[in-house]
Structures are given as structure tokens and as C-alpha cells.
Structure 1
Amino acid sequence: MTFVQLIDCRTSRLDEMNRLMDQWVEQTKGKRTATHAVVGKDRSDASHVIEIVEFPSYEEAMRNSNLPETDRIYRELVALCDEMPTFTDLDVVRDEPLYAAQARRFFDTVALQGPLPALNDLIAEHYHDHDPANEQDTLGLDNMRREIEMWRRAFDFTFTIEDQITQVDRVCTRWSWNGIQKDEFMGLPNTGRQVSMTGTTVFRFDRDGKILEGWWQYDRLGLLGQLGALDALET
């Protein structure tokens, strides 16, 4: 279970505290077990500072605490505080990356059988799509719907999400795609073949949680080869 420690302190020496944390990061390379650290300053009280440190588990946090570098940095941290800091230990019982969930919902939705939903709760009206397979970027929700419909007419397909990485307003998704051709695709006649490819998509979200921009990288050449488009070149 993910474990989070909150360090609550008061200090007028935040710059020195930040430099101290930089030293700890440098000196514990290859040994620390912390995976994420955030330092926040109270907007209503500049001397009130909270540091949030995340670990894979409580046991890993204890291993981190037992490092000699951590012990030394802690003593120096206390010296920078106006009063003794307080610690709150938390087992994380819910961790919901909302943008990542919305990205997953996009891939699930476009692969659904039957009529394509409106998508206006997923994609922003002024969506901007970057796909190197297209000569020009796709602009706007309506044009993106037409792009999706083109794929849906040609294939019955599913996406499998392999990995997701979230950073601020962006979600990177590594996916696998499996489909069966059922109609013409890019001038290629229907083969009825079962085909597959892999790819990566980065989505940028707006404040409403809608997809505002997308960047696609996928093995379109491999897909065309599976559909026989490259057969003439091999003979």
C-alpha cells in the first residue's frame, strides 16, 4: 500500500530548506526509496510550509528513514524550522489520477460497437490533433469525429492500455490495438484479416477534464503491410 508522510513546519528560511532538500536528493541517489516529493507554502502564511513525500509502502519509508543521509538532513531541517516540525503518516486508500481515467475512457469509447457517441464530454470543441500519418493536423471536435469514424468503418477493433504516465495536464498512454478489417481502408480493399499494431498517444487536457490536444505515434506502416499494401514492393 502506498504510504505518504506529511512534514508540517514553520520557517523563515525556505530557500535554505530547498537547498537542503537538493543535497538530500543528491546524496541519496541509488539508496532512497521515496518516489515523489512536493513542498507547498501556505498562501495565507508564508512561514507555514508542508512537505509531502510518497513511498511505495510504509516499510520502504522506514528503510528511507534509516539512511544515515536522511538522519543528518533531518537534524539540519529541524535547525531551519522556527519550531519543531510535526509528522503525519498516511496509508493511501484512494489515489485517482482523473486525467488518466479520462484518457482510458476515450480509448474504450471509440472502440465501442454501435453508433459513435457524441464525444463532447470527452473532447474539447477546439481540439487539435497531431498525427504524422495525416498531411495536415486535424482541428476541431467534428473533424476528429470524422477521423475516428473512418477507422471504425474500416475495422472492428479494441484497445488494450499497456502503460500510462501522467504529468500535470498531460497523459501519455502506451497501447496495443487489435482489429479485423471489414471495409476499404486508405484505398485498400477489404481483406477480412485480423491485424494489430502498437502506439503511444499523449493527450493534453483542459481545466474541464476534456482532451484539448493529442499527439499520436503508431506503427501505421506495419498495419499497411499486414493488409497487403507492401506485397508488390517485396516481389
Structure 2
Amino acid sequence: MTDDQDTIDARRQFPQQWAEEVHGNHNVSFIDEYHASDWVGHFDGKELDNSEYKEMQRELISGFPDAQFSFGPVIVEGDTVAGHWQMTGTHTGEFVGVAPTERTVTVTGTFVTRYDEDGQALETWENIDQFGLLQQLGIAPEEFTLGGLARTLVNLVKSSR
């Protein structure tokens, strides 16, 4: 196996290592090792720095402490790793102001992360099926309509009380 192939194989494992540390072990401080200090994240159009990202992960751990992530396919091209993930977890704690529903959900997303030569993440772009999550929690309607959107907003206000 060549050094290049070793690097590709190691980078292909980065997302699963992140998931095991951050969500498997609830070790949010691992993000300080995993991300460069000037890392920038782009999540569904919102830009995050490391401290905001760690808060987002704390919120997810609080709401879904049993969250498990799986990745595939994961593609490595030079310094960039891209792939698809799936998270399954039970909503047993408050999550973004929503009281626990005790529902088990499966959420998917895609990511592209660029790494430096030391294997630290420099920048990440990620899209998450947030509407699907709201549907599974019973906050958003199964079918999307204008009336359903209004009910979703009412449900969000009620659930955050």
C-alpha cells in the first residue's frame, strides 16, 4: 500500500472517528483536536465558528444522547472528504427548545470537509434534513402544504413553552 493510499484510507475514517468521539463518548472537546482553530462551518446556509459548532453538538447530545452515526459512501479527493451520513437517536432531552417526545428519529445529511496536511478540518459544508427531523418529532406535518407550514409554526411555538 502506498503512502497516498494510507492517507486516503485514514481520511476516509475521519467522519466515523468524529462521530465515535463526539457522540459515542460525548466528548465535545475532541472538536478542538479535530478542527483547526480557524475552522469555518457552513451549515444549511449559516456560518459557524468552532465555539458555535461545539454548542450545536452539545444541543444535539442533550436532545439525542443515544445518537449513532453511520457514514457511506465517503469519498476522498486530495485534501477533501465528502459523504453522506445517517443519524438515529431517541429524543429524550430538550432539543433547540423542543421538549422530549421520546420518538426515535433517523436524519440524514451530506458533508464536504477540507483538511490540512496534519488531518485537521479547515472548512466544512453540510446540509441536514431538518424538515424531516421536525416531521419525525411530530412538529411538522407529513405532507408539506401552506396550511401545514402554519401548523408547524404553531407547534414549534407550543413545544418551546
TM-score range, shorter chain: 0.7 to 0.9
Structure number with higher relative contact order (C-alpha < 8 Å, ≥ 6 residues apart): 2
Alignment-mate amino acid for residue 124 of structure 1: A
Task: Write the mapping of 1:1-235 to structure 2, written as runs, cut at 5 A.
Answer: 92=1, 95-96=5-6, 97=8, 98-132=10-44, 136-139=46-49, 141-156=50-65, 157-231=67-141, 233=148
TM-score by length of 1: 0.54
Superposed CA offset, 1:37-92 (max 9, x none) = xxxxxxxxxxxxxxxxxxxxxxxxxxxxxxxxxxxxxxxxxxxxxxxxxxxxxxx5
- In 2, Cα distance between the equivalents of 1:119 and 1:187? 24
**Distance in 1 of aligned mates of 2:26 and 2:79:** 31
Q: By how many angstroms is 1:107 displaced?
A: 2.3
Cα offsets for 1:7-46 (capped at 9, x unmatched) = xxxxxxxxxxxxxxxxxxxxxxxxxxxxxxxxxxxxxxxx
Q: Is the 8 A contact 1:188 1:227 kept in 2?
A: no
Supply the distance in 1 between the matched residues of 2:13 and 2:27 (Cα, whole angstroms).
Answer: 22
Shift of 1:200: 0.9
Q: Distance in 2 between matches of 1:194 and 1:103?
A: 22
5+ residue gaps, structure 2, are 142-146, 152-161
Q: 1:224 to 1:112 in 2, by over 3 A?
A: same
Tell me which structure has the larger Cα radius of gyration: 1
- Give the unaligned 5+ runs of structure 1: 1-91
> Distance in 2 between the 1:125 and 1:115 partners?
17
Q: Deviations over 1:154-209 (max 9, x none)?
A: 11201011211111110002111101112222222110110001111111101221
Q: Would you say the 8 A contact 2:16–2:70 is kept in 1?
A: no
Instruction: Select the structure that is richer in helix.
Output: 2
* 2:15–2:71 contact (8 Å) kept in structure 1: no
User: 2-side partners of 1:173 and 1:122: how far apart?
Assistant: 17
Call closer, same or farther: CA 1:208–1:93 in 2, change over 3 Å.
closer
User: How many matched pairs?
Assistant: 141
Let me know the Cα RMSD of the aligned residues.
2.3
Indicate how the Cα distance of structure 1 residues 226 and 105 shifts in structure 2: closer, same or farther if over 3 A, else same: same
Specify whether residues 118 and 218 from structure 1 end up closer, same or farther in structure 2 by C-alpha distance, changes over 3 A only: closer
